[in-house]
Every structure is written in structure tokens, then in C-alpha cells.
Amino acid sequence: MSAELTTPTMSPVPIQVGRRRIIPLVEAVGPALPAKATYPHLAPDLLAALLSAAGPTYTDPSGTFLRMASQGFAILGADRVILVDTCLGGPKPARPHPRRGLDSRWLSALERAGIAPADVDTVINTHLHHDHIGWNTTLTDGHLRPTFPNAQYLITRPELDHATATTPSVPVADSVLPVQAAGQLLPCPPDHDLDGEVRLVPAPGHTPGHVLVEVASQGRRALLAGDLIHHPLQLRHPDISTALCIDPVQAAANRRAVLDRYADTDTLLLPSHLPLGGFLRRDGDGYRLAPATHLRPESPPAVGQVGRHAAYGSR
């Protein structure tokens, strides 16, 4: 991401899903991945047309970079405080600046949502790319320690096995292995059900163990969609994968299967990298997001009011 990043300073807006409450925790929004490098197999004219059709929310004015969000989510209610992905993170010994131009204030977003690190009981990493695991750990007194001292960190077994089969990448070494050393890492199956209302949905291809997170409560449903898509053009054309996908064919097949399963079901789709989510609708041979106009801001509690046993999100 470039220096044109914006970082939120207002309290995040909670989204009610039955008795659960989802809070988008945005680290930054702005120009991120180079469009041509992300979709190298698209003809320049087609790529330009698809970017233009998506509008300025999703593309920088020059048409050079995808405009993206770096964000995680909190799922509250039912006596739980669950985090899904932990963004780019803060300084690490081998990575003093995990992203050029960004001084991450993501923990402040948690604070504005009324969440203290000790409140969190579960952290889900949808996959182990650097922009989803960064705040798993924090550099404290010269040592990398789990940021959330009371949390169990869930990573799918296929994802962990792939990431550690050879010498781990620097982000895995500084944001996953310290969690494992602290005894807080739980490898889990890709279809793991956390509590009957929050479950993992397998969607391999982007990475071998990539998952989505479904929240279904009292007849309402939301899908935290990880890196299922990086730009709305992949909704219009689900067969288009990015250069970041380890298996583009598998990623495209699972993308279409997931979109087909949830389209027109009043499921709120919340991809990690889109600044805006919405309700998934079929649109010709592809899909689109319909604005979730019914969502309204609600005042979050002060820090310390969201404890492990708080009935946050219940009505």
C-alpha cells in the first residue's frame, strides 16, 4: 500500500446477525496491489474496462492500483469474543515496517470497539498470508509474544502443514511460530464448527487451507469471505483468479461454488479486502453486491465492557 492510505479514527459500526454482532476492524484503506500484476492474464483493455465498471471505490484514479481494505472482524455475543484475521501488524525484528507507508493502529480499532486483548478467546486466521496474521503477535521487551494472551488461535491443518513444510516465510516465523511456542495454536479441520453459530467454510485454492467464516444466528447469516475475492471484478467474472493464488483453477472453482451457494439468500458478504460489503445477488453469468442499506451505526461499549462473559450482541 502506498502513502495515500487512510486509517479510520471513528468507532467501527457493528452489524447485527441474530444474537451475534460482527464488527469490521479496518486497519487501512487505499491503493494496494498493482492491477496488472494481480491479474496478469487479462488483456489490458479488458482489465481497464473491468476496473472502470467497478468505480472509484475499488480502483485508484490512475487505474494502476486496486483500492483495497486491510481489515479483520470481531464476532461478539454468546459469551464469545472471536477475531477473524489480524491484518498487517506492527513492527517485528525482521520486518520493522510490515507495509511501507503504514503505521498500523489496528489495536486502537479494537479499543474503539470496546475490546481489550485479554477479552479475546479465539483468533481465526483464514490463511497465513502476511496481511492476515500480522497482529497475531506483538514485539514486547524484545520478544514476540501472542497479542491475545487468553486466546486459542485456529489455523487449518492443511494451511499450517503447507506453511511449515519447508523453511517458514518471515511472516509465518514472526506471527505464527511464537503462538505455537506459547501453546496457544490449535490446528483444526477446514470445516471446523466453533459453537453452532460460527463455523469455517473450506475454500482452498488461494492457499491450500484457506477458509471463510460463516456466522448464522436466528435466521440471519453473514459470510466473512477472507480472500475469496480481491476486487469486484471477480464477482462479475468468478473464473478470474489472482496471481497470488497458489492454485488458480481450484480457487476459481471454489469461488464460483461459494458464490452460487450464497447468492440470493440474504447472506451478507464481507470480503477482507473490499472497503464495502453487501448482499450477494446473481447478475447474468456473474454476481454483484447489493448495498446493505438497513445497517445502522450503534454505539460500542467502552473498553473493558466486552468481557468473555458479556452478553454483547444479544437482543
Which H or E run includes 171?
helix 170-175
Residues in the chain: 315
- C-alpha closest to that of 27 among 114, 98, 121, 129: 98
Is residue 111 within 8 Å of 74, Cβ to Cβ? no
- C-alpha closest to that of 273 among 27, 63, 75: 27
- Average confidence score pLDDT of the chain: 90
Res 293: pLDDT = 67
C-alpha cell of 14? 457493528
Identify residue 167 by its one-letter amino acid code: T
Res 311: pLDDT = 25
Q: Is residue 3 part of a domain?
A: no
Looking at residues 138-150, what average pLDDT do you find? 96
Cα separation of 84 and 133, whole Å? 10
Contacts of 39 (CB under 8 A, 6+ apart): 47, 233, 240, 242, 243
Is residue 71 within 8 Å of 25, Cβ to Cβ? yes
Give exposure, 114-132, as e/b (b: 16+ Cβ within 10 Å): bbbbebbebbbbbbbbbbb
Is residue 39 within 8 Å of 123, Cβ to Cβ? no
pLDDT over threshold 70, residue 257: yes
Question: In CATH, what number is assigned to the domain containing residue 34?
Answer: 3.60.15.10
Q: Is residue 309 part of a domain?
A: no
Residue 132, SS3 per DSSP = helix
Q: Is residue 137 part of a domain?
A: yes
Q: Is residue 2 part of a domain?
A: no
Q: Is residue 89 part of a domain?
A: yes
pLDDT over threshold 80, residue 258: yes
State percent of the chain over pLDDT 70: 91
- Strands (DSSP E) found in 229-277: 267-270
Tell me the Cα Rg of the chain: 18
Cα separation of 230 and 128, whole Å? 16
Residue 274, SS3 per DSSP = coil
Q: How far is CA 226 from CA 164, 218, 258, 275, in A?
A: 21, 23, 12, 13
Q: Which stretch, 4-18, 85-99, 120-134, 282-296, has highest mean pLDDT?
A: 120-134
260-275 confidence digits (pLDDT tens): 999 999 899 999 999 8
pLDDT over threshold 60, residue 298: no
Res 11: pLDDT = 80
Q: Is residue 96 part of a domain?
A: yes
Q: Is residue 113 part of a domain?
A: yes
Is residue 281 within 8 Å of 264, Cβ to Cβ? yes
Among 13-17, 176-180, 181-185, name the one with the lowest average pLDDT. 13-17
Res 48: pLDDT = 96
Among 165-174, 183-192, 306-315, name the one with the lowest average pLDDT. 306-315
pLDDT over threshold 70, residue 287: yes
Residue 13, SS3 per DSSP = coil
Residue 89: give the domain boundaries.
Answer: 20-291
Instruction: Tally the domains of the chain.
Output: 1
pLDDT over threshold 90, residue 292: no
Res 9: pLDDT = 77
212-244 confidence digits (pLDDT tens): 999 999 999 999 999 999 999 999 999 999 999
How many other C-beta atoms are found inside a 10 Å radius of the C-beta of residue 14? 22
148-173 confidence digits (pLDDT tens): 999 999 999 999 999 999 999 999 99
Looking at residues 26-55, what average pLDDT do you find? 95
> Could you give the maximum distance between any two Cα atoms of the chain, in Å?
56
Check residues 13 and 151 and name the one with the higher pLDDT. Answer: 151
Q: Is residue 314 part of a domain?
A: no
Q: How far is CA 148 from CA 35, 99, 300, 311, in A?
A: 35, 22, 20, 20
Cα separation of 274 and 4, whole Å? 17
Cα separation of 97 and 102, whole Å? 8
